[in-house]
Amino acid sequence: MNSINRLEHIDVLKGVAIFLMVVGHFLSNNLFPITPNGNEPYAVRFIFHIIYSFHMPLLFFLSGYLFVANEPPQLPEHYIGKTVYKKTMSLMMPWLSNMVVLYALFHIFHPLWFLSSLFWITVVFVSLHYLAQRQSLALWKELLIHILVFALLFVVTHFVTKTRADYIFTFHRAMKSYPYFVAGYAFFHYEKYFKNKFNNLIFTIAALSYGWLFYLENYAISDPHELLAYPIALSAIIIVYFAFTYPQSPTTHHSVIYRQLALFGRHSLTIYLFSSIFLIDCPYVGQLLHLSYSWDSLHLTCITMQILLPLLPALVAAYCSIAVQNIFRHSKLLNLLLFGKRWW
């Protein structure tokens, strides 16, 4: 397997995750409300389960990966304060301003859980990471500390679930996603030991594990434990990471699909913030998707339609979101408020 440019492959992977998020939102907003009692097409339900088994964990994993990739060799003074301030501007500023805009325009109070969760994850991780670096701890000892603190905070935040504060600030959801961030951090350090050596073996093990665990969670076990989601998501992340990072053909990353996924990855925050606006109230496509399916005979055409129709609105929503950012980028203030970015 041939490795492609590191920054490019991260953009591609972010593009995969964010595009799957848009597809999942389209299905949940437009198809499932008009197909009650589990009468949605089988292929669509299958795709939906696959998407929601790993797409957001993949974003947290990549965030942890990029955290160490962009980390300076020597941690500066006031490292925790500077990092928290930076994340406040890049995560919590868009979190707050976009919630205000949604409520003002559509009377929808919808906390952007990914941004707030990533902020709390970063605060906890940076604090522990800084202390570990100060004590010159080995990597495995630092990872052990992260695991122990995760277990503690997971239990503590569990008591605030279903509260208004947790609904807004997503403390418990952040702690549930913390292992994926730490996994990305660890993967960056250990990737060099198996890179281009055991890729095929690891990919095969991950694929078999994912297939078996996915079957258990969705078809064999009536009430699966929530901890089962972790090995399922991590197996899927490994599959996607290896598939898009070490393609069999060295020209694969030059394809149109790779370029478009990289574009989505570079604008992942924008797509996360605005794509849902372009998926509101379009049930007709979902109705067509429902009517194209026959429970008595499942033909290739039906499966193709079930896969194709969610992709087209998702593509339109992604491109429209990018177009919105290109409009707002002419205002420095709006870029700072809506995207936590400055273009100067």
Any domain includes 216 = yes
Any domain includes 344 = no
Cα–Cα dist 256/241, whole Å: 19
> Which tokens go with 132?
């570990």
With 70 as the cut, is the pLDDT of residue 336 above it? yes
Of the candidates 198, 266, 178, the one whose C-alpha atom is nearest the C-alpha of residue 238 is: 198
Taken in order 337, 18, 147, 113, is the CA torsion positive or negative? positive
Cα–Cα dist 165/162, whole Å: 8
209 against 77, higher pLDDT: 209
Region of residue 78 (phi > 0: left; psi between -120 and 50: alpha; otherwise: beta) = left
* Amino acid letter, 26: F
SS3 content of the chain, % helix, strand, coil (to 5): 80, 0, 20
Contact 246, 1 (CB under 8 A): yes
Cα–Cα dist 320/326, whole Å: 10
Helices (H), 88-198: 93-106, 113-134, 139-158, 164-169, 171-194
Cα–Cα dist 27/300, whole Å: 20
Cα–Cα dist 66/62, whole Å: 6
Any domain includes 1 = no
34-59: average pLDDT = 77
Cα–Cα dist 234/61, whole Å: 9
Cα–Cα dist 136/194, whole Å: 25
- Tens of pLDDT, residues 223-256: 888 889 999 999 999 999 998 887 655 555 568 8
- Tens of pLDDT, residues 162-193: 888 888 899 999 999 999 999 999 999 988 88
Structural domain including 245 reads 6-339
- Tens of pLDDT, residues 112-162: 999 999 999 999 999 999 999 989 899 999 999 999 999 999 999 989 888
**Dihedral, CA of residue 184, residue 188, residue 193 and residue 197, to nearest 10:** 80
Identify the pLDDT of residue 130. 93
Any domain includes 72 = yes
* Amino acid letter, 298: L
Contact 200, 242 (CB under 8 A): no
- Tens of pLDDT, residues 74-123: 787 788 999 999 999 999 999 999 888 877 877 777 789 999 999 999 99
Which residue's entry shows tokens 């919808």?
A: 110
Per the structure, how many domains does the chain have? 1
Q: Please give the biggest Cα pair distance in the chain.
A: 67
- Range 207-216 contact pairs with CB under 8 angstroms and sequence separation of 24 or more: 207/235, 207/239, 209/235, 210/235, 210/236, 210/239, 214/49, 214/50, 214/53
Any domain includes 333 = yes
Any domain includes 68 = yes
Those residues with Cβ within 8 angstroms of residue 328's Cβ, 6 or more apart along the chain or in another chain: 334, 335, 338, 339
Contact 124, 149 (CB under 8 A): yes
Cα–Cα dist 4/13, whole Å: 12
The rounded Cα 318 to chain-centroid distance in angstroms is 15
**Dihedral, CA of residue 279, residue 282, residue 287 and residue 289, to nearest 10:** -40
Any domain includes 214 = yes
Contact 62, 14 (CB under 8 A): yes
Any domain includes 158 = yes
Average pLDDT, the chain: 83
Of the candidates 245, 339, 332, the one whose C-alpha atom is nearest the C-alpha of residue 13 is: 245
